A and B are shown apart, each in its own frame.
Chain A
Amino acid sequence: MKRPIARPVDAADQDTAKARAPRAFAPSDVQLSEAVFDTAASEGLVAPPPRRMTWWGRLLWTTGSILVSAGLGLAADRLIRDLFAANPWLGWLGLGVLALFLLAALALGIREFFALRRLHALDALRRDASRAVADNDQQLAHNITDHLTSIYASRPDLARARQTVTENLPHLFDGHEIVAMTERSLMAPLDARAKALTAASARRVALVTAVSPRALVDIAFVIYESVRLAGAIAALYGARPGFFGFWRLTGAVLTHLAVTGGLVLTDGIVEQLVGQGLAAKLSARLGEGVVNGLMTVRVGIAAMRVVRPLPFETQPQPVVRDFIPELTRLATDPTKP
């Protein structure tokens, strides 16, 4: 059995932490250690941008395209020589055709260039408009409105709207008010027509899906209809996309669908289920038709958001719910297109 023992613990540590006396210093001697308040978004929250092509990849494409164009040039040269060798007038004809071909290619290229620039301009306008609204920048908003009226200057259907804008512009003093007025006058009629286009496309898709004999036909038709719809909406808002412009537009629409897919889904999930349930009770094909129609609606909404030159400030954002009545009406009454 052990005896109880009490032993003092080492108190040396506690004695060293003496209370410090107050002192005052000149502020210039101080080394600032305050954390800098960073307003930029934290990096972890933003997805990294897609990786650019690597150096080797770029080399591959560059050299490949040089070889292909050299081959094409050589082939053309050889062809013309052969034609001249066969018969001089055949050679001249070939040369003329080649010249026309090059001219057409050049013209198309220039058109593509302008179409791409127009798409860029619409993008820039939307960004600027958001900034003008946030900063209440009158000058910027003024420029945006001028630019927009010049884009739509040749459109007879917007004559009245353009007049309203130019009449009201000198009497407004706030950036956000100018943008709101422009959106209300110029965008609202275009929005309504874009919605009508989307609804019509969705109805056609739903109808074709409901009556088509093969699944492949539906898919082909959905793709065809989506491409046509995106192009029509872009043209409506003044984008006039060409071939490359169209690729960019498609890419933007698909990205937008991927990014907002979840969002749009939650917005309309209940209605989608209801619509599908109701339609599916009548017929499985009709149910599929409604789902395909909704897909087209989403493409239309995404295209609107991508090409609309002003952000949705005063006008309501289009949502899937707006188009449900159109589709279910079709589903319940298939005789009416």
Chain B
Amino acid sequence: MPQPPTTIVDELGIALSNMADAATGAFTPTLRLGVTGLSRAGKTIFITALVHNLLTGGRMPGFAPLAEGRFIGARLAEYPDATIPRFAYEQHLETLTGKQPAWPEGTRRISQLRIVLKYQSRHWYNGLRGPSTLNLDIVDYPGEWLLDLPLLGLSFAEWSAEALERARRPSSIKEAGPVLALLDSIDPLKPANDPDAERLATAFTDYLRRSREDGALSTLPPGRFLLPGDLEGSPALTFAPLPPAMHSMRSDSLYAMLAGRFEAYKAQVVRPFFRDHFARLDRQVVLVDTLRALNAGPAAVADLETALTAVLACFRQGEANPLLRPFARRIDRILFAATKADHVHHTSHDRLGAILNRLVSSASKRARFSGADTRSLAIAGLRATREGTISDAGQTLPTLIGTPIAGEAMDGTTYDGITEIALFPGDLPERPDSLFEDGTPVSLNFLRFAPPQHLERNANGDVVLPHIRFDRALDYLIGDWLA
């Protein structure tokens, strides 16, 4: 039986925090935007682009408050929770737009940011007291940690069965070989001792790391094994899946010890993360790196779908009830965004959208059933390519012009990160289902492009970030709060 992700005590805490927010937010409401996405989905770029475009009033014709001239400005503010680092917006922007533009490195720890937006309401009763303000809270975190959320509903036995089943699949037997051999040599019913637990945990972590580096699998909890942060080596991170115990076990057996540690991991690592950052969201954007999964093949695509469905089932979605909002917040709008839309030609964006819809179909059905509104878009927070056409062997091919990052290879050519090329990445399939079928050859090769070299500057000297449909994404997510 699946367990609820939170305990009664958590629920009380969440309700109290909501009430505190409602009390402080009586004059300045706070909108909590949940940026969710597995690792390398583009969360950091999305947040950086969001902050920069709001702060500088970037080029966003589709963002209604700005286009209608009602958006007055934004500034960064101190985040109320003093124990969590601030999102290093300036640093990320510098990396993206500096002399040697590069994509920021993967996020390794959690960080938060609050932006205060000032706008004039369109409603006369809000306009009476002049410009209104809205606090926008955003959290950035390693995408690997997101995979832990489904663990909240699983017991140790259920998780072990799932993890071992996945490890024994033929596709991952190479990476999982050592850990499976070690598991066979250890009797789970023998008295608990730490060296065994440590050996198991090390082997399991190696397996997780290697399957991630091969890029084939995206759904491998527990996420903290890969990015432990401060918890490295602590007992809560020293466990591994064990085959189900046949006999009744003693409470001092290895199995009981690891099961206890798994519960501790859930209770002391995952649940606070969920409770503090995801249980009280108003809006959610789900970033999906479709192209990377397409490059990797059908198994990765199917994996991505499973991971997204499992992760999104943990969120509290549903119609926002204005009477209950002071106590219980719900996500009433979810945007599914296929990121890196600049890596395909705009004529293929429809197909990219169709693939995204197929990937998130069960998650979005579930969300719509609970009353939330969903939409999907193909977006790019920072557009790295230009578009053009090329004629090759009598065919006119839509191409992308950009600089592939160093080390990207295609047809035996490895690019150095300086040469600019025109790329035709192949046609996306018309029928999204064909991506899930083995045997259908899908010839696609999406190279990763470096951030644009030369960026325009506006009248104030601020960099203007080119984007694709980012303004519409933003309009959907926060536009109605600024109405």
Known contacts A168-B59, A177-B472, A184-B61; A138 and B346 CB within 8 A of each other: yes
Chain B residues closer than 8 Å to A174, beta-carbon distance: 469, 472
**Complex-state Cα separation, A167 to B60, whole angstroms:** 11
Q: Is B466 an interface residue (CB 8 A)?
A: yes
Q: Which chain A residue lies CB-closest to B377?
A: A174
Least CB distance, B121 to chain A, in whole angstroms: 16
Q: Is A336 an interface residue (CB 8 A)?
A: no
A173 & B67 in contact (Cβ 8 Å cutoff): no
Residue of B62, B64, B346, B467 with most chain A CB atoms under a 10 A cut-off: B62
Known contacts A173-B468, A177-B472; A167 and B346 CB within 8 A of each other: no
A173 & B349 in contact (Cβ 8 Å cutoff): yes
Q: Is B411 an interface residue (CB 8 A)?
A: no
Q: Is A171 an interface residue (CB 8 A)?
A: yes
A181 & B469 in contact (Cβ 8 Å cutoff): no
Q: Is B105 an interface residue (CB 8 A)?
A: no
Main secondary structure of the interface of B (DSSP, over half): loop
Residue of A164, A171, A314 with most chain B CB atoms under a 10 A cut-off: A171
Chain B residues closer than 8 Å to A181, beta-carbon distance: 61-62, 67
B59 & A167 in contact (Cβ 8 Å cutoff): yes
Besides A167-B59, A177-B472, 8 more A-B contacts (Cβ < 8 Å) are A171-B383, A171-B466, A173-B468, A180-B61, A181-B61, A181-B62, A185-B61, A188-B68
Chain B residues closer than 8 Å to A269, beta-carbon distance: none
B346 & A173 in contact (Cβ 8 Å cutoff): yes
Q: Which chain A residue lies CB-closest to B347?
A: A138
Chain B residues closer than 8 Å to A138, beta-carbon distance: 346
Q: Is A72 an interface residue (CB 8 A)?
A: no
Interface string of A181-193 (1 = CB under 8 A from B): 1001100100000
**Complex-state Cα separation, A180 to B349, whole angstroms:** 19
Closest 9 A/B residue pairs (Cβ) = A181-B61, A173-B346, A168-B61, A184-B67, A177-B62, A171-B466, A173-B468, A173-B349, A168-B59
Q: Which residues of A146-203 are within 8 A (CB) of B? A: 164, 167-168, 171-174, 177, 180-181, 184-185, 188
Q: A173 touches which one: B59, B64, B68, B469 (CB < 8 A)?
A: B469
A: residues with CB less than 8 A from B are 138, 164, 167-168, 171-174, 177, 180-181, 184-185, 188, 314
Measured as residues with beta carbon below 8 angstroms from the partner, the interface class of chain B is 10 to 19
Q: B59 touches which one: A171, A184, A314 (CB < 8 A)?
A: A171
A184 & B466 in contact (Cβ 8 Å cutoff): no
B: residues with CB less than 8 A from A are 59, 61-62, 64, 67-68, 346, 349, 383, 466-469, 472
Least CB distance, B468 to chain A, in whole angstroms: 6
Chain A residues closer than 8 Å to B468, beta-carbon distance: 171, 173
Q: A172 touches which one: B61, B64, B68 (CB < 8 A)?
A: B61
Chain B residues closer than 8 Å to A188, beta-carbon distance: 68
**Complex-state Cα separation, A181 to B67, whole angstroms:** 8
Q: Which chain B residue lies CB-closest to A172?
A: B61
Chain A residues closer than 8 Å to B62, beta-carbon distance: 172, 177, 180-181
**Complex-state Cα separation, A173 to B346, whole angstroms:** 7
Pairs A–B under 8 Å by Cβ, sample size 26: A138-B346, A164-B61, A168-B61, A171-B59, A171-B383, A171-B466, A171-B467, A171-B468, A172-B62, A173-B468, A173-B469, A174-B469, A174-B472, A177-B61, A177-B62, A177-B469, A177-B472, A180-B61, A180-B62, A181-B61, A181-B67, A184-B61, A184-B68, A185-B61, A188-B68, A314-B64
Chain A residues closer than 8 Å to B59, beta-carbon distance: 167-168, 171
Chain B residues closer than 8 Å to A173, beta-carbon distance: 346, 349, 468-469
Q: Which chain B residue lies CB-closest to A169?
A: B61
**Complex-state Cα separation, A5 to B1, whole angstroms:** 73
Chain A residues closer than 8 Å to B469, beta-carbon distance: 173-174, 177
Least CB distance, B471 to chain A, in whole angstroms: 8
Chain B residues closer than 8 Å to A172, beta-carbon distance: 61-62
Least CB distance, B199 to chain A, in whole angstroms: 54
Least CB distance, B215 to chain A, in whole angstroms: 29
Chain B residues closer than 8 Å to A180, beta-carbon distance: 61-62
**Complex-state Cα separation, A164 to B69, whole angstroms:** 13
Least CB distance, A314 to chain B, in whole angstroms: 8
Chain B residues closer than 8 Å to A168, beta-carbon distance: 59, 61
Least CB distance, B192 to chain A, in whole angstroms: 59
**Complex-state Cα separation, A164 to B61, whole angstroms:** 9
Least CB distance, B65 to chain A, in whole angstroms: 12
**Complex-state Cα separation, A185 to B66, whole angstroms:** 12
Least CB distance, A253 to chain B, in whole angstroms: 29
Chain A residues closer than 8 Å to B68, beta-carbon distance: 184, 188
**Complex-state Cα separation, A164 to B458, whole angstroms:** 13
Chain A residues closer than 8 Å to B64, beta-carbon distance: 314
Chain B residues closer than 8 Å to A314, beta-carbon distance: 64
Least CB distance, B197 to chain A, in whole angstroms: 54
Chain A residues closer than 8 Å to B466, beta-carbon distance: 171
**Complex-state Cα separation, A76 to B243, whole angstroms:** 113
Least CB distance, B464 to chain A, in whole angstroms: 10
**Complex-state Cα separation, A171 to B387, whole angstroms:** 11
**Complex-state Cα separation, A168 to B466, whole angstroms:** 10
